[in-house]
Copies of this chain bind each other. A is one copy, B any other.
């Protein structure tokens, strides 16, 4: 993995760059769609390529449990398994620790106050958890120890221990181009003391990840490993984390964990941390994908983003229209006779070929093609947004 900064903005920390991987390049700033279970829900890899998607992020936790990283390795790795020959990212599984543990306990997600209401979920529920949240989830699923995290599978209740070493081994088996160090993602409701204790552990885990990682890889075509900056909403902890993680021999960095209770807090966290990280290395903002946040974060020096938001919104019939967050609820009865496309200025397959009325009908009739077309539109929207951002830098 290699990263080059091609151009820097004069007005902000925004920069134009290119990440080179064994499976091709990623032009940054880039949005990375999520294919949790080795598939972007409903779309073929050809449809993703037609949209212009350059890379995907898959979830280590989910693939470790099903079908299993060893099976994927046997089948030639994630790229061959899902037949995606462009770059792949995998997360560390750490976010799921948060989803199964504190997030459920605290009933919050990554940025508690800005979760859009989706379907019948309440806004303060952790919408990033991939399974519907039911009462039995409130039993704490994850136990965090120095060694790692013991958790129960959401699929069959089986017990597992995920450690930094194991996360690295799993991600090695999956074979993504860019992988993440194992971390604990704290909740916005965790206090200073807990966040500090957790941060120190995450730092020790980061060191363990690097040790395992370097030990295991030597060839030129090795995976890129990103370290993750934690520290919640506390300035001194974020600064400490950025300095510590930034000094380690990672190929890039993620800003993770609780990003506060408001967009403003999130932007502050970026202001505290990004300038302390090595400038020449790529920086990824984990789990953030609203257009507005992306614009703000790019100006603060973030190069890449991953988020389920555009695909999830699409599956629920919410189709993105403007960078300021305006969306059209195409499944609403008000569009039942509307001949216009979702967005008449949009060049995506859905907008070029189908009316709001048709897509509305598909949602009402619970036809798969509804979510598919809305997802295509939303991912195309994100690609065009990133293209525009890259042009303005």
Query: Which A residues have a C-beta under 8 Å from some C-beta of B?
Result: 37-39, 41-46, 62, 66-67, 71, 74-76, 81-83, 336-337, 339, 349, 353-355, 357-358, 360-362, 364-365, 367-369, 371-373
Top 3 closest pairs, chain A to chain B, by CB: A42-B368, A37-B365, A67-B361
Smallest CB–CB gap between A294 and chain B, Å? Answer: 26
Task: Tell me, in angstroms, the Cα distance from A83 to B352 when the chains sit together.
Answer: 10
**Most chain B CB within a 10 A radius of its CB, from A45, A46, A67, A361:** A361
Name the contact of A71 in the complex, choosing from B46, B354, B357, B371 (C-beta under 8 A). B357
Name the contact of A38 in the complex, choosing from B41, B71, B349, B361 (C-beta under 8 A). B361
**Most chain B CB within a 10 A radius of its CB, from A353, A362, A368, A371:** A368
Residues of B within 8 A of A46 (CB): 349
Smallest CB–CB gap between A42 and chain B, Å? Answer: 4
Structural contact, A364 and B66, CB atoms closer than 8 A: yes
Q: A67-B364, A74-B337 are in contact. Are A42 and B83 (CB under 8 A)?
A: no
Structural contact, A365 and B66, CB atoms closer than 8 A: yes
- Count of identical protomers in the assembly: 2
Structural contact, A41 and B367, CB atoms closer than 8 A: yes
Q: A71-B336, A75-B339, A337-B74 are in contact. Are A43 and B369 (CB under 8 A)?
A: yes
A42 nearest in chain B by CB position: B368
Task: Tell me, in angstroms, the Cα distance from A41 to B369 when the chains sit together.
Answer: 7
Name the contact of A83 in the complex, choosing from B45, B83, B354, B371 (C-beta under 8 A). B354
Starting from the known contacts A41-B369, A66-B364, 9 additional A-B residue pairs (CB-CB under 8 Å) come to A38-B358, A41-B367, A44-B369, A67-B336, A67-B360, A71-B357, A75-B339, A82-B354, A83-B358
Structural contact, B367 and A372, CB atoms closer than 8 A: no
Smallest CB–CB gap between A149 and chain B, Å? Answer: 22
A350 nearest in chain B by CB position: B44
Smallest CB–CB gap between A199 and chain B, Å? Answer: 34
Structural contact, A39 and B362, CB atoms closer than 8 A: yes
Structural contact, A41 and B83, CB atoms closer than 8 A: no
Structural contact, B337 and A367, CB atoms closer than 8 A: no
Structural contact, B369 and A42, CB atoms closer than 8 A: yes
Structural contact, A337 and B41, CB atoms closer than 8 A: no
Structural contact, A371 and B368, CB atoms closer than 8 A: yes
